[in-house]
């Protein structure tokens, strides 16, 4: 009798151990347990820790409540300004209601993935190329709103959506590179023209200051010669003052005028009549007075061409 009682106790203990092992469940901190009893949802979602279910009657499904990072496959589309682009993104979402994530949608991960792809294609068609390249923050917010609205009914909330990369055709890349190069060239030309304008103003001020002191121009000439000589060049370029050229020109004109006056005076002296009689008409120089007048006119015209402010030496 005692042996039968011991055997029954051992059998009950074994059955209890088996039942305990079949009914015991452990829910991790980042999970929630959804229990389906005979196919119907139990009233309460099991919290993290140790819990028990009825073996053979209850079925518990654990739902991860962590933030899920899901890459969106690259989607190819045409922007509003008719440019073909290829865009990929990444979605960050999490489950906020474990029961809805199990009951309302078959596979919430697959549903979120498909919704992200369709939303990304829609955003590409509504946006321009410049927005995709420079205004991504606004597009990310638009994608988040488009995905978050239907995901709320699935017990899922979209934390954020970010566009990772925008791939352009090679022809478009070359066109954009040429555009950027032309813009840089235009800016360089404008800056260079502005520098030339400022330099011309400073040079005009310097010329005005040097005109008051003629010695300053000579000092500047000597500084230029010293600067050129310091480069150890085999050829020395020496600037020639324009004032010296004008001086030589005036000297040459004055010498020509004096020569013309001397010749005219000599012709007039040679054309005078002797004291004892009248010279025959053939021996008179008929154009002596005309030559002198012509020489005076040439001299006057040359002198008028010279600057009035400068005096002849």
Q: Could you list the pLDDT tens digit for every one of the 313 residues in the chain?
A: 677 777 878 888 888 888 888 888 888 999 999 998 888 888 788 889 888 888 888 888 899 999 999 999 988 888 888 888 999 999 999 999 998 898 888 889 999 999 999 999 998 888 888 888 888 888 888 888 888 888 888 889 998 999 988 888 888 888 888 988 999 999 999 999 999 999 999 888 888 887 787 777 778 777 877 777 776 666 666 666 666 667 777 777 778 888 888 888 888 777 654 444 444 444 444 444 444 455 556 556 655 554 544 443 3
Q: Burial, 247: exposed, middle or buried (Cβ in 10 Å; 0-12, 13-18, 19+)?
A: middle
How far CA 248 is from CA of 242, 251, 277, in Å, comes to 10, 5, 48
Count of helix runs (H) and strand runs (E) in the chain: 9, 8
Q: How far apart are CA 228 and CA 226, in angstroms?
A: 6
Q: Measure the CA dihedral 66/67/68/72, to 10°.
A: 170
86: β partners: 76, 167
Cα torsion angle, 208, 209, 214, 215, sign: negative
Cα–Cα distance for residue pair 159/162, rounded to 1 Å: 10
Containing H/E element for 143? helix 136-151
In whole angstroms, give the CA distance from residue 288 to residue 267. 6
**Phi then psi for 124, rounded to 5 degrees?**
-60, -45
Contact between 40 and 88 (Cβ < 8 Å): no
């Amino acid at each position: 009798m005692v042996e039968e009682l011991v055997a029954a106790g051992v059998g009950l203990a074994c059955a209890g151990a088996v039942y305990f092992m079949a009914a015991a469940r452990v829910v991790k901190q980042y999970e929630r347990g959804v229990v389906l009893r005979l196919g119907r949802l139990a009233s309460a979602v099991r919290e993290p820790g140790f819990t028990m279910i009825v073996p053979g009657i209850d079925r518990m499904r654990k739902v991860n409540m962590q933030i899920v990072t899901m890459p969106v496959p690259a989607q190819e589309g045409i922007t509003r300004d008719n440019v073909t682009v290829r865009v990929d993104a990444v979605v960050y979402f999490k489950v906020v209601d474990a029961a809805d994530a199990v009951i309302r949608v078959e596979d919430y991960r697959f549903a979120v993935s498909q919704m992200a792809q369709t939303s990304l294609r829609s955003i590409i068609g509504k946006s321009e190329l410049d927005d995709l390249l420079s205004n991504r923050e606004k597009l990310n917010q638009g994608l988040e709103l488009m995905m978050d609205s239907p995901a709320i009914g699935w017990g899922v909330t979209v934390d954020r959506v970010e566009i990772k990369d925008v791939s352009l055709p090679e022809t478009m890349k070359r066109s954009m590179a040429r555009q950027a190069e032309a813009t840089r060239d235009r800016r360089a030309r404008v800056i260079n023209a502005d520098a030339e304008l400022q330099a011309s103003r400073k040079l005009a001020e310097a010329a005005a200051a040097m005109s008051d002191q003629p010695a300053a121009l000579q000092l500047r000439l000597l500084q230029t010669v010293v600067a050129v000589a310091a480069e150890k060049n085999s050829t020395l370029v020496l600037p020639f003052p324009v004032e010296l050229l004008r001086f030589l020109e005036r000297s040459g004109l004055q010498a020509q005028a004096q020569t013309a006056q001397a010749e005219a005076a000599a012709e007039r002296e040679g054309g005078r009549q002797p004291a004892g009689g009248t010279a025959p008409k053939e021996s008179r120089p008929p154009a002596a007075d005309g030559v002198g007048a012509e020489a005076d006119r040439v001299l006057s015209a040359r002198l008028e061409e010279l600057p009035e402010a400068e005096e002849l030496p």
